[in-house]
């Protein structure tokens, strides 16, 4: 039975992902289906989102050109990206999750499919180093500040629930994602749910914070080793009409991930110049396992994705359990060797 706090989170998710009839605003580029021959306009979340890293990384090696494409990454606010993707005004989103931007939207009448993963999930709850909150189980009955309508917060709630936390007992307070770091630094908050690159911006160069290992908690509770999170999702109609572009798209993103792995210092410099995130913060992030820039076809992690959908249904993020096959691109994508 869905509890009150989860219903609140679901209502916020639905508000943020509401299909707007006639929505046609363009917050950064592109029109129509975002495709003209080999020219693609792909929506991403604006800096400092991880998805704002794509453009400078792509430019580093002209990876799209290498694969016969010309990609424009169009930065958008979270609300603009999700409402436009929900309405079909944006056909390609590289800031999409299979959980909310495909499964949840499809339950509201959209027809989108998830092609491939780019970032595995990483999120945490930060507490002052002196706090008595040591694990996710200690959050029961505590106040938690977070961006309640985000997929990252939904993953946190599912992780807490899977680890035995009574979700009704959480004292949830909503905040804009951009304000989470400032709220933490104010010293007035007991626990703040946060992710990258905001986490690195908060914790770089100091030992003021304890970061809960939510990813480890999820893996232990579910028995899975991979947590698919953000990737490329497209309208089913676009996928059907542009199958010849999907493998080159995958290869472009796979090359970006390899570039970061092979050239972290250079990648940090390029991303810093494009996003204004300090280079030392990015150097720390890119050298850690928190970036989780991992590109693979969605079908490669069916079991892990099914677990996410199961938990989302159990804890009220989804109204009912969807058919996983209906959410994934059914064509062939050859993984990078």
Residues belonging to the chain: 337
**Structural domain includes residue 151:** yes
Average pLDDT estimate for 132-146: 97
- The domain tally of the chain equals 2
**Structural domain includes residue 336:** no
My answer on whether 47 and 109 are in the same domain is: yes
Report residue 102 as tokens: 């495909």
Range of the domain at 293: 4-121+226-327
Residue 335: how many other CB atoms lie within 10 Å? 12
Collapsing DSSP to helix, strand or coil, 96 comes out as strand
Report residue 297 as tokens: 């076809």
The edge-to-edge listing of strands for the beta sheet with 171-174 is: 171-174, 143-146, 192-195, 123-128, 209-211
| Single residue among 195, 222, 249 that ends a domain in this structure | 222
My answer on whether 172 and 233 are in the same domain is: no
- In tens, the pLDDT along 86-104 reads 999 999 999 999 999 999 9
Contact in structure between 204 and 284 (CB atoms under 8 Å): yes
State the virtual CA torsion across 179, 269, 226, 337 in degrees, nearest 10: 150
- In tens, the pLDDT along 113-130 reads 999 999 999 999 999 999
My answer on whether 66 and 212 are in the same domain is: no
Helix pair angle (151-162, 4-16), 10° resolution? 160
My answer on whether 268 and 290 are in the same domain is: yes
Collapsing DSSP to helix, strand or coil, 4 comes out as helix
How far is 320 from 64, CA to CA, in rounded Å? 38
Instruction: Report the percent of the chain where pLDDT is more than 70.
Output: 90
My answer on whether 117 and 207 are in the same domain is: no
DSSP 8-state class, residue 318: S
My answer on whether 230 and 113 are in the same domain is: yes
My answer on whether 213 and 248 are in the same domain is: no
| Single residue among 204, 222, 240 that ends a domain in this structure | 222
Burial class (CB in 10 A: 0-12, 13-18, 19+), 264: middle
pLDDT band at 336 (very low <50, low <70, confident <90, very high): confident
Please report which helix (H) or strand (E) contains residue 72, including its range: strand 70-76
Distances (CA, A) of 243 to 234, 329, 331: 11, 10, 8
**Structural domain includes residue 204:** yes
My answer on whether 237 and 317 are in the same domain is: yes
| Single residue among 190, 222, 254 that ends a domain in this structure | 222
My answer on whether 256 and 173 are in the same domain is: no
Burial class (CB in 10 A: 0-12, 13-18, 19+), 88: middle
My answer on whether 129 and 255 are in the same domain is: no
- In tens, the pLDDT along 253-295 reads 999 999 999 999 999 999 999 999 999 999 999 999 999 999 9
How far is 41 from 205, CA to CA, in rounded Å? 37
> Can you give the CATH number for the domain in which 105 is found?
3.40.190.10
My answer on whether 207 and 244 are in the same domain is: no
Model pLDDT, residue 31: 37
**Structural domain includes residue 9:** yes
* Average pLDDT across the chain, whole number: 91
Report residue 212 as tokens: 């809960």
My answer on whether 75 and 177 are in the same domain is: no
Closest residue by Cα to residue 254 from 80, 74, 54: 54
Report residue 242 as tokens: 């542009």
Phi and psi based region of residue 72 (left: phi greater than 0; alpha: psi -120 to 50; beta: remaining): beta
How far is 33 from 259, CA to CA, in rounded Å? 29
Report residue 140 as tokens: 């029961």
**Structural domain includes residue 334:** no
Give the predicted TM-score (pTM) of the model: 0.89
Residue showing tokens 């995958």:
250
Residue showing tokens 């703040």:
192
Residues linked to residue 211 through DSSP beta bridges, in sequence order: 126
For β-strands 228-235 and 92-97, DSSP reports them as antiparallel
């Amino acid at each position: 039975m869905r509890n009150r706090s989860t219903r609140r989170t679901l209502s916020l998710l639905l508000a943020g992902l509401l299909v707007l009839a006639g929505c046609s605003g363009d917050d950064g580029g592109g029109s129509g289906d975002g495709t003209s021959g080999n020219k693609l306009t792909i929506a991403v979340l604006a800096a400092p989102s991880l998805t704002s890293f794509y453009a400078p990384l792509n430019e580093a090696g002209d990876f799209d050109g290498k694969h016969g494409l010309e990609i424009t990454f169009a930065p958008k606010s979270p609300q603009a990206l999700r409402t436009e993707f929900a309405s079909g005004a944006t056909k390609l989103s590289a800031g999409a999750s299979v959980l909310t931007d495909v499964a949840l939207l499809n339950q509201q009448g959209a027809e989108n499919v998830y092609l491939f993963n780019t970032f595995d999930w990483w999120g945490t709850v930060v507490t002052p180093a002196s706090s008595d909150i040591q694990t996710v189980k200690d959050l029961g009955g505590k106040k938690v500040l977070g961006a309640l309508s985000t997929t990252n917060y939904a993953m946190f709630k599912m992780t807490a629930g899977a680890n035995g936390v009574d979700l009704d007992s959480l004292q949830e307070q909503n905040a804009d994602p951009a304000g989470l770091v400032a709220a933490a630094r104010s010293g007035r908050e007991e626990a703040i749910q946060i992710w990258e690159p905001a986490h690195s911006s908060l914790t770089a160069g100091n030992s003021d914070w304890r970061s809960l290992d939510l990813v480890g908690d999820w893996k232990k509770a579910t028995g899975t080793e991979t947590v698919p999170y953000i990737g490329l999702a497209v309208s089913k109609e676009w996928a059907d009409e542009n199958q010849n572009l999907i493998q080159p798209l995958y290869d472009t993103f796979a090359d970006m991930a390899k570039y970061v792995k092979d050239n972290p210092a250079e990648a940090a410099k390029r991303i810093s110049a494009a996003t204004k995130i300090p280079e030392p913060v990015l150097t720390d992030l890119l050298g850690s396992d928190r970036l989780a820039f991992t590109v693979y076809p969605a079908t490669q992690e069916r079991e892990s994705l099914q677990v996410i959908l199961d938990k989302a249904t159990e804890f009220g993020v989804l109204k009912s359990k969807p058919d996983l096959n209906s959410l994934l691109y059914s064509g062939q994508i050859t993984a990078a060797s």
